Structure 1
Amino acid sequence: MSYLYVLIGLVLLFVGGEILVRGATGLARRFGVSPLVIGAVIVGFGTSAPELITSVQAALSGSPGVAVGNVVGSNIANILLILGASAALAPVIVDPAAFRRDGTSLALAMLVMAGALAFLPMNRVTGAGLVLALFVYIGLTYWLDRRTRDAAAALHEREAGMVSPADGVALALVFTLGGLVLLLIGANRLVSGAVDIATALGVSEAVIGLTIVAVGTSLPELAASISAARKGEGDLAFGNIIGSNIFNGLGILGVAALVTPFEVPARLAGLDLLVMLAASGLLIAFATTGAKIDRREGGILLVLYAAYIAWLAWSGAV
């Protein structure tokens, strides 16, 4: 039953995330919200909603390993697995002008996240600080987009165009509320099944959070990025991954700590956190050398993810 719970949870999270984004985007457009805000905020939040609900549910259930492992593992999977797979399908073109801003934001967000996990108690004060940092990022992004209308602003507007919004206020509300309900049910089933599997296999909850839960909650990013890559819009896949990782690192950890303070498992404040930072550094290095992430670099990312998963399997009982 535990594996069935995990499967049901993953399906509900994927469907719920997709419906929520369509509903929220439909409402936003209906009430005149600009494509800039839809692309930079609503799409980014929507694709990170499965991670958010799952991590909060795990924290409330007394499973901080799943809560934190989900965020750290999702950020690793977004770069090594999802970006790697997207680049392997088609080279991901990087706009240097857009990346100067978004890449800097990513680096700062990952450093803030890592510092909070490694050196601060995950209490409501820390949570509030992380959420405040996310609001600052969103506010600055919107202000700069409106003021400069640069390449990053154009990218955010195109991200809004990726979504097929629900038509009409009534349908958009149904999609939004229905998506939230599915996310809540899916997160509950996923966390419950994941904890039972960890117990049965004798591995730590952190490892389950870093693998099954993290990859599962990243399915919306995977679907969106693969779809964009197949359409020759790899820059959208790239922007989606950067935005998702920023939301994960600041928003999800922050909200989880605000809802209920929790202890960070020792292993997640160590090597796994360094892997996340190294993956972020590799993304920045690849993006700034050649203004694209080609198939060879995508293959390198995929091989590194396979090696990381193999290491987790070997060290799973720790």
Structure 2
Amino acid sequence: MTASMILVAVGLLALAVGGELLVRGAVGLARRMGVSTMFTGIVIVGAATSMPEMVASVQAVRAGTPEIAWGNIVGSNIANSLLILGGAALIMPIVLEGRGRRDSVVALLATIGLSAIAYLGYADQWIGAGLLAALVIYIIWRYNHPPAQGEDDTTTPIPNLFASIILFVIGVLALILGGRWLVNGAIEISTELGVSETVIGLTVVAVGTSLPELAASVAAAIRGHAGIALGNVLGSNIYNLLLIGGVTMAISGRSLPPALLVPAWPVCVAAAILLVLVCWGMKKFGRFPALLLLLAFAANTALAFR
């Protein structure tokens, strides 16, 4: 048990450090491309901070435990919507001003689509390929449609290209190792404690792989980059569903675990609806609603272990 806990702790640390380095490198590369901060947050940082979930899920599928992978996907989206957004806004309220409206709808549609696949029990590698194709279409659409008025914010100084590439590469390597250690340790702990692998994926693995999102969103909120803070949450949710869900389905070809049908998927859909309401109905996301999100996340985590 002790060795497994150490393995999980080291894996989480590697994921946190690797995610931070990857984010810095990705943002640097994005700035070199001259794209908006909202696009950077959604497409670049969202993809970068989803790498821990990607690595952990692929490792779980290769280890023969896709339950951890799917639990990680659903749990990470819940953590993004409640823990990450709530934590960032609690430290520094996020000025919305119309940001993320279109992308919150995309995230909601992807959530509903994948939850429908889960409830219908569909399982086919072609479904995974379809999810990946949907992600490609979304990225192309997002790149060809510049931010709506108010979606962009102040830009950061353009960093050194070589340094950005080095940070990106080191971050990816740290994420690969961290994901392997985390999944191996989580499987061992679930076996020793008699806890289902789905619950481990929903909690330990999901929160652990969401640490880069938390670090990136908090840092962005503190620096006043609301586009990156919010875009990171929305982008990560979309990548989790379409990229990681697509890869997991394409590799395993197995249906989503029945244990996630209640209450995980309904909570995930409710969180996606909440993000749409926030993006479309609020000009500023302050500390009080942020605290409510954190309390909701705590309650959901306790419910997972019931």
Task: Give the alignment's TM-score, normalised by structure 1.
Answer: 0.86
Q: Extract unaligned runs of 5+ from structure 1.
A: none
2 CA distance for matches of 1:17 and 1:52?
12
Deviation per CA, 1:77-128, whole angstroms, max 9, x where unpaired? 11111111222223322222x3331222222121122223332534320111
Residue 258 in structure 1 maps to residue 250 in structure 2: yes
TM-aligned CA deviation for residue 280 of structure 1? 1.5
TM-aligned CA deviation for residue 311 of structure 1? 1.1
1:100 counterpart residue number: 101
1:13 counterpart residue number: 15
1:150 counterpart residue number: 148
Q: Extract unaligned runs of 5+ from structure 2.
A: none
TM-aligned CA deviation for residue 285 of structure 1? 2.4
2 CA distance for matches of 1:180 and 1:212?
21
1:34 counterpart residue number: 34
TM-aligned CA deviation for residue 72 of structure 1? 0.4
Structure 1 counterpart of 2:301, from 296, 302, 309: 309
1 CA distance for matches of 2:77 and 2:168?
25
Residue 213 in structure 1 maps to residue 205 in structure 2: yes
- Segment drifting more, 256-265 vs 136-145: 256-265
1:113 counterpart residue number: 114
Residues 33/260 of structure 1: CA separation in 2 closer, same or farther (3 Å cut): farther
Aligned residues: 302
2:268 counterpart residue number: 276
Q: Secondary structure at the match of 1:154?
A: coil
2:128 counterpart residue number: 127
Q: Secondary structure at the match of 2:100?
A: helix
Q: Please tell me whether the aligned partners of residues 41 and 230 of structure 2 are also in contact (alpha carbons under 8 angstroms).
A: no
2:138 counterpart residue number: 137
Q: Secondary structure at the match of 1:150?
A: coil
Deviation per CA, 1:150-198, whole angstroms, max 9, x where unpaired? 337625x85xx49x85x344x5544333322222211111001001111
1:59 counterpart residue number: 61
Residues 14/122 of structure 1: CA separation in 2 closer, same or farther (3 Å cut): farther
Q: Trace 1:127-276 onto structure 2 (pairs within 5 A).
A: 127-145=128-146, 150-151=148-149, 154=152, 158=155, 161=156, 167-169=160-162, 171-276=163-268
Residues 25/284 of structure 1: CA separation in 2 closer, same or farther (3 Å cut): closer
Q: Please tell me whether the aligned partners of residues 86 and 234 of structure 1 are also in contact (alpha carbons under 8 angstroms).
A: no
- Segment drifting more, 74-83 vs 116-125: 116-125
Residues 279/25 of structure 1: CA separation in 2 closer, same or farther (3 Å cut): closer
TM-aligned CA deviation for residue 130 of structure 1? 0.5
TM-aligned CA deviation for residue 200 of structure 1? 1.2
Task: Give the alignment's TM-score, normalised by structure 2.
Answer: 0.89
1 CA distance for matches of 2:23 and 2:286?
29
TM-aligned CA deviation for residue 60 of structure 1? 1.1
